[in-house]
């Protein structure tokens, strides 16, 4: 098993976990709240516990996805 296939498997697993993390996050006011619509006060709500874990985990997984994608592009796979 070479490095190319290992990176591809990690990338696929990362994409799967990004999908799961995004789907598990709670919905807030949506795009309307950003532009002054209803529930504008929810925009600055602090995240605690599992919600903070999902939010921060999604950011970390997204960065990992970008790095792995660039790695695959550089390797020319």
The whole-number pLDDT of residue 27 equals 74
The whole-number pLDDT of residue 53 equals 93
The whole-number pLDDT of residue 46 equals 77
The whole-number pLDDT of residue 48 equals 84
pLDDT-flagged residues of the chain (< 70): 28-45, 77
Which residues contact residue 6 at a Cβ distance below 8 angstroms, ignoring those fewer than 6 apart? none
Q: 14 phi and psi, to 5 degrees?
A: -65, -45
């Amino acid at each position: 098993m070479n490095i190319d296939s290992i990176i591809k498997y990690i990338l696929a697993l990362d994409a799967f976990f990004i999908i799961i993390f995004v789907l598990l996050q709670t919905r807030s006011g949506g795009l309307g709240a950003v532009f002054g619509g209803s529930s504008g006060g929810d925009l600055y709500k602090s995240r605690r516990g599992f919600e903070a874990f999902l939010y921060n985990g999604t950011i970390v997984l997204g960065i990992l996805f970008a790095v792995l994608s660039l790695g695959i592009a550089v390797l020319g796979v």
